[in-house]
Amino acid sequence: MEVTLQYLAEWSTHTTSSPLYSHFAGVIAGDEALLRVINRIEHRPPPNVLLAGVHYLLMRNPDHPLAGFYPSLSERPRPVEEVDEVFTGFVLEHEEELVALGRERHTQTNEARRCTALLPAIWAGEHQSFHLVDIGTSAGLNLALDRYHYRRDEIEWGPESPVRLHAALRGAEPAPRTIEVLSRTGLDLHPVDTGDPEDRAWLEALVWPEASERRRRLRNAVEIAAGLTIELVAGNALETLPRVLDGLPAGEPAVVMNSFAFNQLSPEQRTGVEEIVHGGRARRPVQRVWLEFSGLGGEGAELRTDPGARWVTLGRAHHHGEWLELYARP
């Protein structure tokens, strides 16, 4: 789909909460040369990939005048009204690098705060010790969900951790219980390696420049994930999941989860995943956990679980874990 003035206006209204990026969307929309560049960005959505590319290049070159407008790169960012020419000049000077990044890199935002919803869904199951498999894992940060600290009023759970997660709760309270993660496996078309400085930088570049708390959380979560044994398996989950499930010790339970990834799968592929899980249950109990936009509108994403027999909708959650609404105490 071509990126037009209309597309950018909608993107700015519905997709970004960054004042700087909303401004950039307007600058791109009004400039033929910038529209040409954004339409050369291969991966979707082009504004996210292009602006993450600009952020990524600036993180390496923080003395460039454009960096002075970024809250992530400058302590006292300059007023956005003065940025237009500097931004346009930067994008045109770095056009080929940005197009190359748009061919190599993807929008793979990995938000550890989503664990404030994923963990209560696991608590709703019955397995204390289990192998954890994450479909569409990006950097695998959600596979460290037992290494983060959770707090909500009187409910506290988890070890002391530099990643302290808090979601505003609506509705019923979650029911914490002890869990033990026996192994952690993340499946992704393009896994992000927390041990690779370039991969880490790209993950950070994807975070909006104003989102300082998210950036801090990301850095801490990346450190935790990098210190754990996480097996990242590259490839289409339809091909890798059967092998991964078969490779786990027979009889030991598994939890297979997905969050904000299945919008990238066709309905047939989604059905395919459930058929693989169904087949895997011949060798072990498998709990499914699902956190995805339902496509039916409404606020937040749908949180559900299938402990083994049927799906149960547990509630809804904000896409970055800011709030969690449980329909009933699981």
Ligand X SMILES: C[S@@+](CC[C@H](N)C(=O)[O-])C[C@H]1O[C@@H](n2cnc3c(N)ncnc32)[C@H](O)[C@@H]1O
The answer to whether 211 contacts ligand X (rule: CB under 6 A) is no
Q: Which two tokens stand for residue 306?
A: 């299938």
Helices 212-226 & 197-205, crossing angle to 10 degrees?
A: 150
Measured from the CB atom, the residue of 96 and 104 that comes closer to ligand X is 104
Give the interface segment with ligand X, choosing from 11-19, 44-52, 223-231, 261-269 (CB under 6 A).
261-269
How far apart are CB 169 and ligand X at their closest, in Å?
20
CA 38 to CA 51: how far, in whole Å? 10
Q: Residue with CB nearest ligand X?
A: 136
Residue selected from 111, 146, 204, 306 as contacting ligand X according to rule CB under 6 A: 111
CA 209 to CA 83: how far, in whole Å? 14
Which residues have CB under 8 Å from 132's CB, separation 6+? 143, 145, 181, 182, 183, 184, 185, 254, 255, 257
Residue selected from 12, 48, 88, 138 as contacting ligand X according to rule CB under 6 A: 138
The answer to whether 183 contacts ligand X (rule: CB under 6 A) is no
Please check whether residue 303 is in contact with residue 149, taking contact to mean a CB–CB distance below 8 angstroms.
no
Please check whether residue 237 is in contact with residue 246, taking contact to mean a CB–CB distance below 8 angstroms.
no
How far apart are CB 42 and ligand X at their closest, in Å?
14
How far apart are CB 321 and ligand X at their closest, in Å?
9
Measured from the CB atom, the residue of 65 and 235 that comes closer to ligand X is 235
Which residues have CB under 8 Å from 217's CB, separation 6+? 112, 113, 163, 165
Q: Which two tokens stand for residue 1?
A: 């789909």
Residue selected from 187, 256, 286, 301 as contacting ligand X according to rule CB under 6 A: 187
Q: Which two tokens stand for residue 29?
A: 């929309």
The answer to whether 294 contacts ligand X (rule: CB under 6 A) is no
Burial grade of 23 (CB within 10 A; 0-12, 13-18, 19 or more)? middle
Q: Amino acid identity, residue 91?
A: V
How far apart are CB 74 and ligand X at their closest, in Å?
27
CA 121 to CA 29: how far, in whole Å? 42
The answer to whether 80 contacts ligand X (rule: CB under 6 A) is no
Residue selected from 12, 48, 108, 305 as contacting ligand X according to rule CB under 6 A: 108
Sheet architecture: strand order including 155-157: 155-157, 149-152, 164-165
The answer to whether 318 contacts ligand X (rule: CB under 6 A) is no
The answer to whether 233 contacts ligand X (rule: CB under 6 A) is no
Give the interface segment with ligand X, choosing from 10-18, 76-84, 219-227, 253-261 (CB under 6 A).
253-261
Give the interface segment with ligand X, choosing from 66-74, 76-84, 133-141, 166-174 (CB under 6 A).
133-141
DSSP one-letter string for 148-191 = SEEEETTEEES---S-EE--EEEESPP-----EEEEEEEEESS-
Measured from the CB atom, the residue of 37 and 143 that comes closer to ligand X is 143
Measured from the CB atom, the residue of 8 and 187 that comes closer to ligand X is 187
The answer to whether 83 contacts ligand X (rule: CB under 6 A) is no
The answer to whether 292 contacts ligand X (rule: CB under 6 A) is no
Measured from the CB atom, the residue of 136 and 280 that comes closer to ligand X is 136
Residue selected from 34, 83, 261, 277 as contacting ligand X according to rule CB under 6 A: 261
* DSSP, res 78: P
Measured from the CB atom, the residue of 72 and 109 that comes closer to ligand X is 109
The answer to whether 48 contacts ligand X (rule: CB under 6 A) is no
**What number of other Cβ atoms are within 10 A of residue 251's Cβ?**
8
Q: Which positions lie near ligand X, rule CB under 6 A?
A: 106, 108-111, 114, 136-138, 142, 187-190, 236-237, 259-261, 264-265
